[in-house]
Structures are given as structure tokens and as C-alpha cells.
Structure 1
Amino acid sequence: MTLPLTVQPDTVVVAPSGGRHRNRWLTFFLRRIWRMLVALFVIVSAAFLVLRMAGGDPVRSALGATADEAVVQARREQLGLNDPIIVQFWNYLTGIFRGDLGVSLITGRSVTELVEHRLPATLELAGLAFLVVLLVAVPLGLAVAILTQGGRRRDTELAFTGITGFFAAVPEYLLAVALVVIFAITVPIFPVAGNSSAASYVLPVLALAIGSSAALSRIARVEALNSLSEDYVRTARSKRLPGWMIYFRHALPNMLTATLTLGGTLLATMIAGSVLVEQVFNWPGLGTAFVQAIVTKDYGIVQGLAIVYAVIILVVNLVVDLVLSVLDRRTTLLDTA
């Protein structure tokens, strides 16, 4: 008796089409944009409500207790603070879409003009500090990983983790004060304030970069150790490739994904941390204006600049997500699954 043969159909694996991948990437991009817009709306609403719920009259607080009542009421009318709160919120939102971030409660100066004047100095400071962080942290982390791989040079590892852990834990403004005391007062090498010369950039950039460099170098070392333990590195070594080729062509590109992700997050942190650093060095950026507005109770400027900082941080995080999705497509696939 002949048994019937059962033919198993071949399993065909179809690679995702280019169009499907593009659709997933577009979905990923739109989700990130939507999340950013929702977060921005929440921040704008919070900034609006804080000014109205702080207690007392913000215009009276800004102009002072001795200001004439007619002046106070005229300023309130000018700012629309006598309108119903819903009307105020709507006017505030539509004003932001037109590029109107409000005005100073004291001088009546446009916050948008203030941002246009001072934002470049803040971005310049944070950008230079971030460049220093990348140029220091990535090579340092890779070098220490090479020296300490396989449990070798335990004393080097302990010294590295101890020093970087200390500097990563010190707030930026304390580092700024220490740098001023050492290199501008005790040993007057660099200017203590302003940005009138190239030397005046050194201390504020270092104040922002030291802690972030320490934190990022620790992550870079861990990622480099993981890359150096992978099979492709062992294969490269078995082929007796030069050390520089193993480290820079094989290990370095694979350690950069997580390192750059944290680096982008650190950039957002550095922009926020620049507020106090700018105050220490009297840097002509947004941070100095922000602190001065808080001291003088000029809530119009505080509200507008808080939104500007929030937008910068949200945009930086969005760019980090997009760069990560390009470097590692699994991020896009997991997010759209």
C-alpha cells in the first residue's frame, strides 16, 4: 500500500518593502511630533496658570508697592489681564503662534525681541560646551575601555570611575564658582564676565562641559567594553588586523548609538543648566535675563523665557530620537509595532 505523500509548502520570507519601511518611519516621526506638541501644550498651560495663580497682582508686584494705581490699572488693561481667563488663555495661545511671547510687566518690552537678542549667546555657549563633551568623553571612554578590558588595570578603572563620578555629581554652578575663584581671582588667567574675547569663553564652557563629559565618558566606556566583547571584534582580532582598525572601524561605530543618545539628553540638560552658569559669568544670554526677571518679579519675561527653554529642550529630544531611529532602525520598528 502506497502512503500518500504530504508536501509541505516552502516558507517564503518576504523582506519588508521600501514603502512599508517608509510608512513606519513616517508613523514614528508623526508620533514623536504629536508627543512634542502635547508636552508643549502642557508646558504653555502651566506657564500661563502659574502667573495667574501665584497670588496677588503680578503687575503690582512687578511695578512695586509705591507705583501709582492708575499706572497699574493702565498696564493691566494693556496686557489684557482684566479680560476673562479663558479669553486671556486664547489670546496667549494665538499670540505664541504669531511669535508673540508676551511683554515685560515692568518695561513693556517684547519678550520676542529679548529672545532674538540673547538666544544666540546661549546657543553658542551650549553648543561649544557640547562639542567639548563629545571630543573629550567619547575618546576617553574608548581609551579607558581598551586599557581595562578583561579586568586588567584595576587601579586605572577605580581612578576613572572615582574621578568621573565626582565631577558628574557636582552641579554646574558650583563648578562655575570654583573656576572663577581659581582661574579668574586667585590666578587671574581668564576673564570673569562677558563674552568680549575668545578667552572669556573658556571658563563658562568648561563649567558646562566638565560634569557632562564625566557622565558621558562613563557610558562611553561601558558601551565600548560591550562592543569589544562582541564576536565581530574577536573575528577581527583573529585576522590579525591592526589595533587602530579594530577600535575605530569596528568598536567605535557600534558604541556610538547609546553614547549619542545620552549625549543628546545631556545637551538638553546643559541648555537648562546654563541658566545659573550664565548668571555666574554675567553671560549675555537667556539665562541671565531669566534670573534677573525672577529677582524683579517680571513674570511676563519669566513666562516667555520658560516656554523658550521648553521648546529648545523638546526640539533637542526630538532630534535625538530621529537620529537614533536612523542609526538603529529597531527603535522605529518597536515604536510603531
Structure 2
Amino acid sequence: MKYFFLNVIKTVPVLILITLIVFILVRVTGDPVALMISENATEQEKAELREALGLNDNLIVQYINYMGSIIQGDFGESFRYNTDALTLVLDRLPASIELAIVSMILATIVSVPLGILSAIKRNSLLDLFITGISVVGKAMPNFWLGIMLILVFSVMLSLLPVSGSGTLAHTILPAVALGTGIAAEMTRLIRSSMLEILGQDFIRTARSKGLFEAVVVNVHAFRNALIPVVTIMALQTSTLIGGTLITETVFAWPGVGQLLIQAVNLRDMAVVQAAVFIIAIAVIVSNLLADLIYRLLDPRIKYD
């Protein structure tokens, strides 16, 4: 627990750095007032908005006020939706989490048996086939795969809906589009980890004791091979939450990714800042969970 709390404390400087980067990017991309207000607005209206946003203060004062607002959970109000920016992002977060979880489940179901099979059939035609498919799956962009899935399963075959959410049918195509790349990466990593573990002494000892090969592979080898895989799963889960920008847009999935793209296009900076902050927290939490799972999978790992 001490290790966990120390890592939580260490995340504070990371979050501060992220807020600083977002704060700077919002201002170097142009005048926030010019980005937010209509081109037909009068100079008086621009001046009033500038004063309301506190842009007349120097940058140091602006950043201090900005951090004070964040600590209170106040990222400002979305001028597009006329509601609190953080509330808007949090309302969209469950949809992104749902899509991330389903994508990860699909990726795990596919990658675990393929990775193990590829390892135990090393250098066979089956191994080469699985490795080749993994390379292709990793190389395909999510948005391109999403469009192809829509063309085949929605337009040509009319089996699944093109866009939207609310049912399992709506989830399948975007989850497959997101999960394919993850499955390909995990398959390759599981294969590599299994090959390393299968060559170690304790595996030879287990076999010499007369254990069934299925027990040796699925219990002794796979459990130890899981440790590096956990890192990929944790990091990819956080990536799915915040990195589904194009895919959520392609499938009109009402998640944080789609909201962030819309906010950038509309210059809704309050929503952009809130969304980036939530994504950063998701990444940090995923990393912390990965560290904790390490300990559960391998008690030999000690934390000072």
C-alpha cells in the first residue's frame, strides 16, 4: 500500500505538467477569443469576453487562476453546449469505457489462444500464418478498418447498424475496429513471452515430473508469460479511452473521443481541456493498476 500511495503522489507533478502543456497549447494556437466568438462580433463583445475569461491578466496569473479552477473541478462552461465542460465529458465517459472494455475483451479472446498456439507450434506454417495475420492487423489503421467494416457488414450485408449506440449490435463493429490492432499486438507479445518462458528450467522440470503438456503450457508457462502482457493491456485500455478519436467519429459513437474532435473543430477550449485532463487521469490510473496486477501475478516482484 505504501508503494501505491507513493505512486499516486508521484502522479501529481505529471498532472501539473499536463495542465501546463494544455494551457500553453490553447494560447499558442491563436487568440482564444477569436477562436470562440463569431467573426461578426463587435470589438466591445470581444473585450467583454476577454475580460470574462480573465485574458487581460498576464500569463502567470492566468495559469494560477486556471489551476485554482481545476482543483475545484471547474474547467469552465462549454459555449457550444451551454453546460459545464467537465460534466459534459464525464457524461460521455461511460460510452468510451464500454467500448474500451468490449474491445479489450474481444482482443483478449482472440490473442491468448493464437499467441499460445503460435508459440507451441514455433516455425510451423501455422506459426507463420498467425504471425503474418498479426502484422497485417497491427498495420491496419483503425479508421480504415472501421470504414471497411461498415461497407461490408452494414452497407453490403445489412447485418449491423452503421452508427449509434445503445445495443450490442451497435458495439460490435467499433469494438472490432479498435480491438483488431490490440489483438495483433497482444498475440505477438504473448508468443514472444511464451517462447521465453517455455525455454526456462522450471518448465523442463515440470515436464520431467510427468505433467500433461496442457498443464505445463496453460498453467505454469502462461501465468509467467502474462506479466509483460499486463502492461500492454493496461496501457492499451487507457489508449482506447482517449485514442478512439477517429473511430468514434466514424461510427458516431457518443464517447469522449468524438466529443473531443467536435470540441477541437468548434474551438470549444473548455471541453478540450477537460477531455485531455480526463484522458490523462485514465492513463495514470491504468499504469497504477498494471503495477498492482504485477504484484498479484508474481509475488517475487518487490517494491521499495
TM-score, normalised on structure 1? 0.84
**In structure 1, C-alpha distance between the alignment counterparts of 2:283 and 2:115, rounded to whole Å:** 26
Distance (Å, rounded) in 2 between the aligned partners of 1:246 and 1:330: 20
Structure 1 residue 83, shift from structure 2 partner: 2.9
Structure 1: distance between partners of 2:233 and 2:179: 11
Structure 1 residues 289, 239: CA separation in 2 closer, same or farther (over 3 Å shift)? same
CA distance in 2, matches of 1:253, 1:107: 48
Aligned match of 2:225: 255
Q: Which residue of 2 aligns with 1:32?
A: 7
Within a 5 Å distance, the mapping from 1:80-229 to structure 2 comes to 80-148=54-122, 151=123, 153=124, 155-229=125-199
1:300 alignment counterpart? 270
Asked if 2 retains the 8 angstrom alpha-carbon contact of 1:59 and 1:105, the reply is: no
Output the CA distance in 1 between the equivalents of 2:153 and 2:23: 42
Report if the CA contact (8 A) 1:172-1:273 is conserved: no
How many residues were matched structurally? 304
Q: Which residue of 1 aligns with 2:236?
A: 266
- Give the AA of the match of 2:242: A
CA distance in 1, matches of 2:54, 2:299: 49
> Residues 236 and 330 (structure 1 numbering): CA distance in 2 closer, same or farther, change over 3 Å?
closer
Which residue pairs with 1:13 in the alignment? Answer: none
**1:241 maps onto 2:211 in alignment:** yes
Are 1:63 and 1:106, in contact at CA under 8 Å, matched by a contact in 2?
no
- The 3 A distance-change label for structure 1 pair 99 and 290 is same
Change (3 A) 1:108 1:48: farther
Supply the AA of the counterpart residue of 1:130.
M
Q: Give the 3 Å change call, closer, same or farther, for CA 125–329 of structure 1 in structure 2.
A: same
Question: Of 42, 50, 60, which aligns to 2:25?
Answer: 50
Other-structure match for 1:5: none
Q: CA deviation at 1:177?
A: 1.5
Matched residue type, 2:239: T
Deviation of the 1:216 alpha carbon = 0.5
Counterpart code for 1:229: G
For 1:116, the aligned partner's letter is L
Tell me which of 68, 71, 77 is aligned to 2:45.
71
Letter in 2 for 1:172: N
Uncovered stretches (5+) of structure 1, i.e. residues with no partner: 1-24
Report which stretch shifted further, 123-132 or 139-148: 139-148
**1:279 maps to what in 2?**
249
Partner secondary structure for residue 118 of structure 2: helix
Distance 2:260 2:238 in 1: 17
Greater Cα radius of gyration, structure 1 or 2: 1
Identical columns (%): 34
Structure 1 residues 248 and 259: alpha-carbon distance in aligned structure 2, compared to 1, 3 A threshold: same
* Correspondence for 1:20: none
CA apart distance, 1:271: 2.2
- Structure 1 residues 293 and 243, CA gap change in structure 2 (3 angstroms): same
SS at match of 2:243: helix
Aligned counterpart in structure 2 of residue 232 of structure 1, from 202, 221, 230: 202
**AA matched with 1:129:** S
Matched residue SS, 1:195? coil
- The offset of 1:84, in angstroms, is 3.0
Cα 1:157–1:143 change in 2 (3 A) is closer
Q: Which amino acid aligns with 2:119?
A: A
Of residues 12, 16, 20, the one that matches 1:41 is 16
- Relative to structure 1, is the Cα distance of residues 289 and 108 closer, same or farther in structure 2, using a 3 angstrom cutoff? same
Aligned amino acid, residue 324 of structure 1: Y
Paired letter, 1:276: I
Inter-partner Cα distance in structure 2 for 1:69 and 1:183: 52
CA RMSD of aligned residues (A): 2.0
Match 1:61 to one of 35, 39, 60: 35
Partner Cα separation in structure 1 for residue 195 and residue 163 of structure 2: 41
Unmatched runs of 5 consecutive residues or more in structure 2: none
Q: TM-score, normalising length from structure 2?
A: 0.92
Deviations 1:301-333 (A, max 9, x none): 212211111111122122212322443455544
Q: Secondary structure of the equivalent of 1:321? A: helix
* C-alpha deviation, 1:106, in angstroms: 4.3
